[in-house]
Structure 1
Amino acid sequence: MSSCVQCGAPLDVPARGRKPRYCSRACQARAYRARLHTRTTPAPPARRPADPGLSRDRIVRSAILIADAHGLESLSMRHVATALGVKVMSLYTHIGGKDELTGLMVEAVFREQDPGSRAHGGWRAALESAARWEWALYSRHPWVLEVIATVRPPLVPSLLAQFERGLGAFDGLGLDPVTVHRLYLGVSGLLQGLALLRVSEITAERRGTLSQWRTVQVPAALAELGPGRYPRQAALGGDPGVMADLSDLDEIFEFSLGLHLDGIARLLEAR
């Protein structure tokens, strides 16, 4: 027995002639409207598959290369997408935005250090090792200083681990936690303050604007103003060798770090 293709009701099929498909004109009209809706409603767009070669790690590595070469001010999600040859929106399937990306970049560069590579030999050797590694880090990735030398650095695991290892240099010395934090922040502040000069130097070199400021411009300015006005600075005599030594940031860093650690040693001896 036949049934209506629209509502399923049984149909009376005549012995001869065309067999009916609908039980009533109302069912026939409903079927027509359904076919019309199907023809006029566009199919939903196909979802573009994610780039199988794109990953969070690849995005972060590309962003680090951009920041290393051009500075943090040039970094954007669009710049990263262009470097990777993908659409900008494809990045957001892996990373929420530039703030998250910057935190992941810091996490990645501070992971470059092997936690087991610390020098053995007491608190001083540990602090020297940590400070020299971080000093070298700012030369490789100058943009990092801009991100972490703030009162609200990104709280990423590798940066927190670096800080924890620095505090751990004072373990077993009988110091209270507040003093330990102050001592380590003093070393960190010295390091980051000098690193500002290093980063400025690298930025000027990148832009091609680094001139012989200390060896040429400073002596010329002192000579023009008169040596009697700034006698202690004029005492250097504008000697190119001496002035070049004064601009050797690596030497200044080592000299200053040694003096600072000497001061900590005297404090510990007095206690």
Structure 2
Amino acid sequence: MPTKNANKVNQAWGKRPPPSRGPKPALSTTEIARAAIELADAEGLEAITMQRVARTVGVTTMALYRYFPGKADLLDLMIDSAGDSVPNFGKPTSPWSTRLKEWARRCLAIYQNHPWFLEATSARRSIMGPNELLWMEAALAMLAESGLAAADRHSAFLALIGQVRGHATFQETKKQGESTQEWTHDLAHVLKSEADRYPALLKALDSGAFSKKPARAFDFAVDCILDGIRARVK
């Protein structure tokens, strides 16, 4: 059976040569990754084992190792395939900030459409795949239009992707807990009994801030980042 170090290159780059022995592969690695994505979407990342994926695509477990040296390699291609090809983020004539905000929204959609994506990308140890890097390339190109210095564009990108991942984490945590209404009710009960200690929190709660739709909170945070970028380049 292949060792853990059989392939250090992200499988999405397609650098591993095809096997020289055995029958010609009947499936492509992309087809297998797509099937694995559907399985993970339906049952979570824990369902992704070499045995389970092999059954899903109709091959033996040992045959699956001819396509992927190990599970980590399969996950690499799943991650890179989850976002599809980099789309347009609005008309080229639209302001860079409008297109970058659309980039952030579509990036968040990947996490929302594939709940396993956050966990998978957090555990990954290989470099990003070509499609992921194209998403990053698109963001940096738009940031270049902003007038930010080249050395600052990556920091701005990290602020944006950090907001995307932070929002995705918060939303995933909420799915596993009680509803927003229940959580807000419980928080109100605690805060009102300790009003002297938490006046700012209580004021925010009374304003209805905790009941706002998540999409509004996300847009507000992204707008703050974009406003900060504009302020720096003035």
TM-score by length of 2: 0.77
**Whole-Å Cα distance in 1 between the matches of residues 127 and 159 of structure 2?**
20
Match of 1:259 in 2: 224
CA shift in 2, pair 1:260/1:242, >3 Å: closer
The Cα of 1:259 is off from its aligned counterpart by 1.4
Per-residue CA distance 1:34-65 (angstroms, 9 max, x = gap) = xxxxxxxxxxxxx996774x432221112111
Matched letter for residue 233 of structure 1: L
Identity of aligned residues (%): 30
Higher relative contact order (CA 8 A, sep 6+): 2
**Whole-Å Cα distance in 2 between the matches of residues 134 and 236 of structure 1?**
29
**Whole-Å Cα distance in 2 between the matches of residues 63 and 259 of structure 1?**
37
Match of 2:103 in 1: 130
Report how many residues are paired: 212
The Cα of 1:171 is off from its aligned counterpart by 2.8
Q: Is it true that 1:87 corresponds to 2:60 in the alignment?
A: yes
CA RMSD of aligned residues (A): 2.8
**Whole-Å Cα distance in 2 between the matches of residues 97 and 151 of structure 1?**
13
Per-residue CA distance 1:162-182 (angstroms, 9 max, x = gap) = 111111113355543211111
**Whole-Å Cα distance in 2 between the matches of residues 95 and 151 of structure 1?**
16
Matched letter for residue 202 of structure 2: A
Q: Within 5 Å, give how 1:9-28 maps onto structure 2.
A: none
**Whole-Å Cα distance in 1 between the matches of residues 206 and 147 of structure 2?**
49
Per-residue CA distance 1:62-90 (angstroms, 9 max, x = gap) = 21112222322332111212333432112
Match of 2:194 in 1: 226
Give 5+ residue unaligned stretches, structure 1: 1-46
**Whole-Å Cα distance in 1 between the matches of residues 100 and 50 of structure 2?**
37
Q: Is it true that 1:216 corresponds to 2:181 in the alignment?
A: no
Matched letter for residue 227 of structure 2: D
Whether contact under 8 Å (2:85, 2:131) holds in the other structure is no
Whether contact under 8 Å (1:170, 1:180) holds in the other structure is yes
Whether contact under 8 Å (1:50, 1:90) holds in the other structure is no
Matched letter for residue 194 of structure 1: H
Secondary structure in structure 1 of the residue aligned to 2:86: coil
Whether contact under 8 Å (2:89, 2:100) holds in the other structure is no
**Whole-Å Cα distance in 2 between the matches of residues 194 and 48 of structure 1?**
46
The Cα of 1:119 is off from its aligned counterpart by 3.8
Q: 1:159 aligns with which of 124, 127, 132?
A: 132
Larger radius of gyration: 1
Whether contact under 8 Å (1:227, 1:234) holds in the other structure is yes
Give 5+ residue unaligned stretches, structure 2: 1-20
Q: Within 5 Å, give how 1:25-36 maps onto structure 2.
A: none
CA shift in 2, pair 1:119/1:131, >3 Å: farther
